[in-house]
Structure 1
Amino acid sequence: MNAAEMVEVVLPGKVEPEGLQIRQGHVPTAGPGQVVVRMEATGVSFAEQQMRRGRYYDQPPFPFVPGYDLVGTVTATGDGVAPGLVGTRVAALLKVGGWASHVVVDAADAVPVPDGVGAAQAETVVVNGITAWQMLHRKARVHAGHTVLVHGANGGVGSVLVQLAQAVGAKVIGTASARHHAALRERGVIPIDYRTENIPARVRELAPGGVDAVFDHVGGRSVIDSWRLLAPGGTLVSYGSASTRDDEGSKQWPVLKLLGRIWLWNALPNGRNAYFFNVWAGRALSRGRFRARLHADLTEVFAALKRGEITAQIAAELPLTRAAEAMRLAESGTVAGKIVLHA
């Protein structure tokens, strides 16, 4: 591939991972207020797994280039953007478009990556880190002395949640399959096997008065149990419906049902709170405020990464052209951490 060519991965429709298409083209040009980023690392998140099934609730119509986030180096700037930005390593949250060797990004959406933090390291905490940080600090407001329950404690978001919660002095209970328990114990997490144990009963043994916060990406029956496990004044943060990943029918219905439950729970006079977290919430109402908050919070996440409060968990690194293999690996449930793609 020469300097004027780019490679991107296209999701053409509801396909198996092997149905992903590799396409070549010309490197895009930055428009006013934009930059071209040469991708160094992007990742496979749960969103892409849902999108290839047509199950992500606000995905664009097929075909499109997936890729929720990326880390890379600015190679060109458009009108109105400081030329000195060229050569800077940045991260960006995109929702789609990251699985490409070169990506056009609004300069205002590019967050500098600190010196000393590698591209793959930074990639593991872009969408996962911003999600974990905002749920923990902006929604649940977890602090020292709290006890929290993290579902999927070995996963991309869950593993960052665990570490950020511990960094503020919280006690963490985490669900995961048994093969991940030893690693969780080493981190100081109390593990529960979601496959063989009764999660509500075990949590009540560990926290008889209830937990101060639950972070639930599972949805379905799990979110009802999560609500019931809260202590007075506790907070439930639901941020997905993983249990419906392979379902058929409307992709909006699981989310709408969750939102209905959360509205009802918050209407009850019981002092507990429930949220459905969407990292994009508020963007349509105030793009400037959304960007400022994202920039501030992702900068905090990168600082925590650099301090060692959170560690980059890279499950595997594969070239972009092996995206199908990366997707298969991510969906296998056999790895801990982020599957990272590089150009």
Structure 2
Amino acid sequence: MDAEGLVEVVLPGKVAPEGLQIRQGTVPVAGPGQVVIRMEATGVSFAEQQMRRGRYYDQPPFPFVPGYDLVGTVLSAGEGVGPGLVGTRVAAMVKVGGWASHVRVDAADTVPVPDGVGAAEAETLVVNGVTAWQMLHRTARVRAGQTILVHGVNGGVGSVLAEFAHLAGAKVIGTASARHHDALRDRGGVPVDYRTEDVAARVRELAPGGVDAVFDHIGGRSVTDSWRLLAPGGTLVSYGTAATRDDEGSKQWPVIKLLGRVWLWNALPNRRRAFFYNVWAGRAFAKDGFRARLHADLTEVFGALQRGDITVRIAAQLPLTSAGEALRLAESGTVAGKVVLNP
């Protein structure tokens, strides 16, 4: 057992970032098929921003420990786990529970981190990298020569998505505020300022026949505009409802409305397709298949980072006990890249 003991961050209810609580306890013990990971890096994602408002559509009841993903070293393993896993650096996607010094997970849910890839760098790509890779290659199946629109191209998912699309030979149009435009241009993309330009008009100017795919995390009215910008045979991939982050009322209703739109669009006699992407899709019904895809895709993502094909942006690294400050910083809209928490 680790002599340091367990330290974890608790989200007690709908609170300001400063309302997060620090709790100490005993390091968990690995059960059969499980490992205990000593966390080295965990991140602040948009999911936690929604959760503290009670707006994440399937979050657990308060209080709970947030933290969507983590990277760390396997401290101990339970019965049925090969001894070779202990002492290795792994990544895990957990949805909640990652903001802790020690996290217990099923060994089958861990993915090895390659040598030479740092914990913080790997952490920025766990949920963001898998989401970007799967939406681009498994859902939209973007090919060389196609043109895509990425909303929020400076965000955690959008920035990785743009890099993978560029690697695949696609042209990227990305929406972002002006201060992020040079970064997109450096990666071969074309920026559109959503604050000062008519996005739909500008995209139609850049792609008169429509775009081959749109990746929309905004939801609301944006997703309807995204659908209208598709070329024949194009694909809309909706993967969030960021526009409703600060709304009151039901947290499920925006997702239900979005799913209804997707169903209706796909039922229409047209050549376009719409999807609502959920990184957890299939886990409840086909856990082995879900794990195999996650392992394969995250391995691809880490490999791209190891080869230098993609880059990562770390906005800041703060200690776990400063999670409130980290969450406030991530929500400020003043940083580029991911805010990472360290032990």
TM interval, shorter chain, is: over 0.9
CA contact (8 A) 1:4 1:26 kept: no
- Give runs of aligned pairs for residues 125-274 of structure 1, distance below 5 A: 125-274=125-274
Check whether the contact 1:48–1:67 (CA below 8 A) recurs between aligned residues. yes
- In 2, Cα distance between equivalents of 1:184 and 1:277: 24
Question: Where in structure 2 are the equivalents of 1:103-142 lying within 5 Å?
Answer: 103-142=103-142
CA distance in 2 between counterparts of 1:212 and 1:307 reads 28
The CA RMSD over aligned residues, in Å, is 0.7
User: 2: distance between equivalents of 1:104 and 1:118?
Assistant: 21
Instruction: Give, in whole Å, the separation in 1 of the partners of 2:84 and 2:267.
Output: 51
Where do residues 82-93 of structure 1 align in structure 2 (5 Å cutoff)?
A: 82-93=82-93
- How far does the alpha carbon of each residue in 1:85-113 deviate from its partner, in whole angstroms, 9 at most, with x for none? 11100000000000000000100000000
Letter in 2 for 1:100: A
Distance 1:90 1:220 in 2: 37
- Equivalent residue of 2:233, what SS? strand
Q: Does 1:47 align with 2:79?
A: no
Partner of 1:24: 24
Deviation at 1:79, TM superposition (A): 0.4
Give the letter aligned to residue 302 of structure 2: F
* Contact preservation (8 Å) 1:124, 1:314: yes
Q: How far is 1:224 from its partner?
A: 0.3
2:7 equivalent to 1:10: no
Shift of 1:222: 0.5
CA distance in 1, matches of 2:305, 2:110: 18
Q: Distance in 1 between matches of 2:324 and 2:165?
A: 34
Q: Deviations over 1:147-181 (max 9, x none)?
A: 00000000000000000000010000000111111
Structure 2 distance, partners of 1:163, 1:237, is 17
CA-CA distance at 1:143 after TM superposition: 1.2
- Give the CA deviation at 1:318: 0.6
Kindly provide the CA deviation profile for residues 239-295 of structure 1, in whole angstroms up to 9, marking residues without a partner as x: 000000000000000000000000000001111110000000111111111111111
Matched, 1:287 2:303: no
- Give the CA deviation at 1:6: 1.2
Where does residue 33 of structure 2 map in the other structure?
Answer: 33
Deviation at 1:4, TM superposition (A): 4.6
Distance in structure 2 (CA, Å) of the matches to 1:91 and 1:304: 16
Distance 2:4 2:232 in 1: 59
Q: Which runs of 4+ in 1 moved over 3 A?
A: none
Alignment partner, residue 79 of structure 1: 79
Q: 1:121: Cα distance to partner?
A: 0.5
**CA shift digits 1:115-142 (9 cap, x unpaired):** 0100000001000000000000000001
Deviations 1:72-94 (A, max 9, x none): 00010000001121110000000
**Secondary structure at 2:326's aligned position in 1?**
helix
Please report the TM-score for the alignment, with normalisation by the length of structure 1. Answer: 0.99
Deviation by residue 1:279-316 (Cα, 9 ceiling, x = unmatched): 00111111111111111111111111111121111111
For the residue of structure 1 that corresponds to 2:35, the secondary structure is: strand
Q: Verify the 8 A CA contact 2:92 2:126 in the aligned structure 1.
A: yes
Residue 333 (structure 2) aligns with = 333
Stretch of structure 1 that moved more, 181-190 or 285-294? 181-190
- Do 2:125 and 2:301's aligned partners in 1 also have CA atoms closer than 8 Å? yes
Any idea what SS the aligned residue of 2:328 has? helix
Q: Distance in 2 between matches of 1:160 and 1:59?
A: 25
Q: Which amino acid aligns with 2:101?
A: S
**Aligned partners of 1:335, 1:183: CA distance in 2, in Å?**
13
**Gap runs ≥5 in structure 1:** none
Letter in 2 for 1:45: S
- Deviation, 1:198, is 0.4
Say whether the 8 Å CA contact 2:166–2:187 is kept in structure 1. Answer: no
User: Residue 7 of structure 1: SS of its match in structure 2?
Assistant: strand
Matching residue of 2:297: 297
